[in-house]
Structure 1
Amino acid sequence: MWTQIDKVMCGSIWKKPSEPCEFLPVVVVLKIAKLFAERNKWIAVFRAFPGPPKHWLYGHAHKFRQDGTDLDLVIKWGESYPLAFELWFGPFVSFLNIHHPEYVKTILASTEPKDDIGYTFLIPWIGEGLLVSHGKKWFRHRRLLTPGFHYDVLKPYVKLMADSTKIMLDKWEAFADKDESFELYEHVSLMTLDSIMKCAFSCNTNCQIESGINSYTEAVYELSYLINLRFRMFPYHSETIFHLSPHGYRFRKACRIAHDHTEEVVRKRKEALKDEKELGRIQKKRNLDFLDILLCARDEQEQGLSDEAIRAEVDTFMFEGHDTTASGISWILYSLACNPEHQQMCREEIIQALEGKDTMEWEDLSKIPYTTMCVKESLRLYPPVPWTSRKLTKPMTFFDGRTVPEGCLVGTNVYGIHRNSTVWENPNVFDPLRFLPENCSKRSPHAFIPFSAGPRNCIGQNFAMNEMKVAVALTLRRYRLVKDPERTPKMISSLVLRSLNGIHLKIEHVRFSFHNNAGGHWQPPRLADGVHCNHLRLYLALFFLPVAVPAAQFSTGTAGFCALFRPDEQLVFVSEVMEGTGNGGVTPHKSPVVAASPRKLHSSPMFAGVGQSRTAVTLAGSVATLAHSQHAPGRPKPRLANRSEHVVEVSEGITSVNGVLH
């Protein structure tokens, strides 16, 4: 029906509904006038925060070319405009870009919502989960999901993370000891997806060993690219224009693939829970994972999460829990390849902490402090999420007295803060000692924010840190990382920090050699050697025992120090405790596990007459100490029955040899 309001809005000329109406041009003119009024408002506000010169139409958007120079360009601008400066994306969208800890402290101490532009583009993909939601909805979801990240929940995840990492490292055997680099980001991304599926959703997948490209990880890469593209191209800020564009079609297609993946995970779990009569039976069966907690969460009114909310949180955690962590791990490995001296120190610490194990457990995470500092230093230089933003719901005043009004978009430049030369000395230098406790206490806690900070910090940061430490530790235990000088990564920000040309490294198997205190040096040949030690003598013996495994050999002394080498000289493990059988055989006191199964040793008469004895091996830095636990006074000292010409006598009291990792 033709209403009075319609007549008024169409102007003074009455027209029938079927006739052309002047309403549309009027609306367009009013909209444009409003946009320019807003533009003039923010130009006036940002006079207090001058920035680099901008184009009247493009703003600063045309300066960002996605060619690997964008992040450093913003750093350069920050040197000219301290603390904060304006950034314009097109003629009407402006942000206050902050890159100083004191400014960050003010914004992150609040619960202000994420901006309503860039984060809105994420909603068709991940819904209004914790990342995007705000207000009471965000607060309720945060409270319901926090138990899913308790230490007791995270503890059993460490072993699962290690299992996923070992699958990846086994695949890397194809690239080891070759003079060619390989691109690792895709491998790491599949590993972190496999890990989060096992940990958070109790799903065992074969995504790492399936042939072809994984559809979910490919969809995530596509979505990240398209959302970043949409943000930079201001015409795409219009829902209609983007929807009708080829990029909009690609976005919807990728969303369907991502949603199919997460919906299948939720569907299978719901079906499984139907067979359980009560939550107690689930808890007896296994520890609750993230999805269990989502499905079973209840607030004070005994209200759970809706199906839509559950899918949003699953989509959010699936993306953030695998893609951001993959970025972090990939750049950490690259950092260590570029800094071999720190890589070596980490490796020695890791070998000591693991005590011969080929996996990691919860208790091991606290035993690698130097490795943890290296992880943090890489996160400083290469933050997985280089930029976040908020929209103010009330005016905000910063420590220097400058104020911004309600509605202002404030971008936190994490990359810029982490490389701010007024905060970090030599900010582009890799220096893990920055994270010694005494050094951390001298700077603002908001100078290092890879997981954000304040009430809206990353809920899964402990999960992510654990996974990064596990992946780095097991990788360095097996391989030496070497950078490819001809393929330097070009950093780009695409939701997460990626490389335009990939991250390429060379890897080499870790090798051991030993030297005695008299200065002699020995490195295991293809048939690995062994070391024997008691309280009075140190013996260097050239013999081996075969293992009942194809292409593997056992190197051991008469008791205790035990190392398994492959024919290519790769060290697989160093055992903790060995026990001599008295007839020449040697059996593990604690069965070593290689490739998930104990190895049975063949008996050998090579060193008959040893007698019952035990030798424990510990690694302290680069020193391997072999402490003999049984040597009764008056008993004949152990002697090697064969190969005696290779026995090297060293002065009494020597109970250690130095081990050098290559």
Structure 2
Amino acid sequence: MAVLGSYSTPLLGISIFIAALTYITYKLLSGYLDKWFTMKPIPQADGTYIFIGNAFQFKYNAGDFFQQIMDFTRDFASAPLFKLWIGPIPFVILFHPETVEVTLQPLIKMEKNMVLCSLTPFNSHSCLLLLVSTGLKWRQRRKMLTPTFHFSILTDFLEVMNEQAEILVEKLEKQVGKGPFDCFSHITLCALDIICETAMGKKIYAQSNSDSEYVKCVYKMSDIVSRRQRSPWLWPDFVYNYFGEGRKHDKTLKILHSFTYKVIHERMENISLDESDSDSDKGTKKRRVFLDMLLKTKYEDGSKMSHQDIQEEVDTFMFEGHDTTAASMNWIIHLLGSHPEAHRKVQQELQEIFGTSDRPVNMEDLKKLKYLECVIKEALRLFPSVPFFARSIGEDCHINGFKVPKGANAIIITYSLHRDQRYFPDPEEFRPERFLPENSVGRPPYAYIPFSAGLRNCIGQRFALMEEKVILASILRKYNIEACQTREELRPLGELILRPEKGIVIKLEKRKPLTSSN
């Protein structure tokens, strides 16, 4: 009996383990098969196999992968949507205003998808909160952070933008008259300096020290994550850690987090709630930064954000706030350098506002830059900074008559959406006039969503538009741009951000002031 008793405990444990494993497998399998048959009527790509889906069809190279996705949307141009399976995970692909609107409006419950969350930069086991979190936590954060981008606060950020734009213009001076050069890194480092100083109040001098460890890690992390996103077999953490770049990812992440942690800790020690009052008494004005406002922000119950809460938001804005605007400005520079008439109109507008003055850009100037704003919008139509983004569907719903079950994912292909010929005739043509008020009448709001749309639209879009106007105006007031690549040579890469494979190669010449009455 004693011998029997000694065996009963491990046998019971093994039995429980087997039973639990069997139950989990059954639930996963039944859930997968239920989705498979529910979504069967939705058009799908060729070569879709049960359990495997389309996972091994995807190209690993970023340029080939992006071209592959665009080919899919062209193949299904007449269909309202189509689906792809990545292993057991279903994705419905949307690129028409009617279907995108259904998904982005708050009629369909959206939930956090842990697969997508684990693939976001700067977070190994958590999501970028304003990008993919849901429910009460997202609503609380969004409500608290919206005032951070109030007009008066953005005015404070304008000073930093002008200062960094001036540094950029001085750097570009060295390239004037010296033939073709790649401007991509110049613009990107300027944007990185701006976001670091406005978000954290920390100068990192990226424009003068691009070899700094932090700057290198910012770009290394984006490359690491984008490669993982294109490799579904590396999505599970344990596989990625043993067979992928898990260790490299964690090492890079540690450097990024330690930098922001140190900055936050220093400011938490130095800041006090009456700081602004004491400064005003002395007749000086303290420059506000995003981090200081987070440190003072309170939830509705009166509690402050934790250090982790603050770091999540700072990391989010570090990721969202420089790469997207930098990519957009680079595409704009190429487009203006390729279209002399649009280039001339922008400079004419600048001449009317600034004359021959080299004064900084102010808020009133920004309001007057109407044509430049059309140029920015048209460039974002052709080359949206985020070429596709995901939403996870939290309840059974119907999209254009097709049933989509809870747990499926929706991928909105912004790049293809912006090329709908019904609303953008000759969609590959660069025509800034499309966005003049009289030419925008009747266009569906979900036909153009460079900053997403609905409740989850980009909270920093006014910041981004302001930054782009300041930097582009600063460059075009000084220089004439000539593009040295054709559109075909650019070859967009479908990474986290839409960027050209071989940079943006241009020539710069000193600008000759136009005749003006100013």
Calculate the TM-score normalised by the size of structure 2.
0.89
Residues 484, 504 of structure 1: 8 Å contact kept: yes
Q: Give the Å deviation of 1:269.
A: 1.6
Match of 1:182 in 2: 181
2:161 equivalent to 1:269: no
* Structure 1 residue 171: Cα displacement: 1.0
Deviation at 1:295, TM superposition (A): 0.3
Is residue 2:1 matched to residue 1:109? no
1:230-629 correspondence runs (5 A)? 230-274=228-272, 277=274, 280-281=277-278, 285-358=285-358, 359-398=360-399, 400-485=400-485, 488-512=489-513, 622-625=514-517
CA RMSD of aligned residues (A): 2.7
Question: Does the CA-based 8 Å contact 1:54-1:88 persist in structure 2?
Answer: no
Alignment of 1:67-216 (within 5 A): 67-81=62-76, 82-89=79-86, 91-110=87-106, 112-122=110-120, 123-124=123-124, 127-179=127-179, 181-210=180-209, 212-216=210-214
CA contact (8 A) 2:199 2:314 kept: no
Whether contact under 8 Å (1:15, 1:21) holds in the other structure is no
Give the structure with the higher percent strand: 1
Distance in 1 separating the partners of 2:478 and 2:153: 28
Q: Which amino acid aligns with 2:189?
A: L
CA positional deviation for 1:433: 1.1
Preserved CA contact (<8 Å) 1:176 1:506 = yes
CA distance in structure 2 between the aligned counterparts of 1:283 and 1:445, rounded to whole angstroms:
43
Aligned residue-pair number? 501
Is the alpha carbon distance of 1:70 and 1:338 closer, same or farther for their aligned partners in structure 2, counting shifts above 3 Å? farther
CA distance, structure 1, for counterparts of residue 318 and residue 137 of structure 2 = 20
Task: Using the TM superposition, name which of 65-74 and 276-285 deviates more.
Answer: 276-285
Partner Cα separation in structure 2 for residue 246 and residue 273 of structure 1 = 42
Q: CA deviation at 1:142?
A: 0.8
Query: 1:386: how far off?
Result: 1.2
| Shift in Å, 1:367 | 1.3
Distance change (3 Å), C-alpha of 1:386 and 1:423:
same
| TM-score, L = length of structure 1 | 0.71
User: Contact 1:148–1:289 at 8 Å: present in 2 too?
Assistant: no
3-state SS in 2 of match to 1:70 = helix
**Paired letter, 1:393:** G
The structure whose Rg is larger is 1
Change in CA separation of 1:217 and 1:384 when aligned onto 2, cut-off 3 Å: farther
Q: What is the rounded CA distance, in whole Å, between the counterparts of 2:426 and 2:136 in structure 1?
A: 43
Structure 1 residue 215: deviation in Å? 2.5
Per-residue deviation, 1:77: 2.5
User: Residues 391, 127 of structure 1: CA spacing in aligned structure 2 closer, same or farther, 3 A cutoff?
Assistant: closer
Deviations 1:559-595 (CA, angstroms, capped at 9, x unpaired):
xxxxxxxxxxxxxxxxxxxxxxxxxxxxxxxxxxxxx
Specify the SS of the correspondent of 1:156. Answer: helix
In the alignment, structure 2 segments of 5+ residues that lack a partner are: none
Spell out, residue by residue over 1:72-112, the C-alpha distance to the aligned partner (whole angstroms, 9 max, x if none): 433332233222110222x2122001001111111111262
Q: Against the structure 1 CA distance between its residues 246 and 142, is the aligned structure 2 distance closer, same or farther, given a 3 Å change threshold? A: same
Counterpart Cα distance in 2 of 1:282 and 1:54: 66
Q: Distance in 2 between matches of 1:335 and 1:172?
A: 18
Higher normalized contact order (CA 8 Å, seq sep 6+, divided by chain length): 2
The answer as to whether partners of 1:116 and 1:391 remain within 8 angstroms in 2 is no
Cα distance change of structure 1 residues 33 and 301 upon mapping to structure 2, 3 Å threshold: closer
Residue 393 of structure 1, CA deviation: 1.5
Compared CA separation, residues 484 and 126, structure 1 to 2 (3 A): farther
| CA displacement at 1:624 relative to structure 2 | 1.9
Identity rate, percent: 30
Amino acid at match of 2:83: E
Provide the C-alpha distance between the structure 1 equivalents of 2:456 and 2:202, rounded to a whole number of angstroms: 29
**Conserved 8 A contact 2:160-2:194:** yes
Are the equivalent residues in 1 in contact too, given 2:96–2:420 (CA < 8 A)? yes
Report if aligned partners of 2:117, 2:125 keep a CA contact under 8 Å in 1: no
Unaligned runs of 5+ in 1: 1-6, 8-12, 513-621, 627-662
- Tell me the residue number matched to 2:46: 53
Q: CA deviation at 1:143?
A: 1.0
Deviation at 1:20, TM superposition (A): 11
Q: CA deviation at 1:396?
A: 2.2
Contact 2:58–2:230 at 8 Å: present in 1 too? no
Instruction: Sort the Cα spacing of 1:76 and 1:234 in 2 relative to 1 into closer, same or farther, 3 A.
Output: closer
User: Corresponding residue for 1:641?
Assistant: none
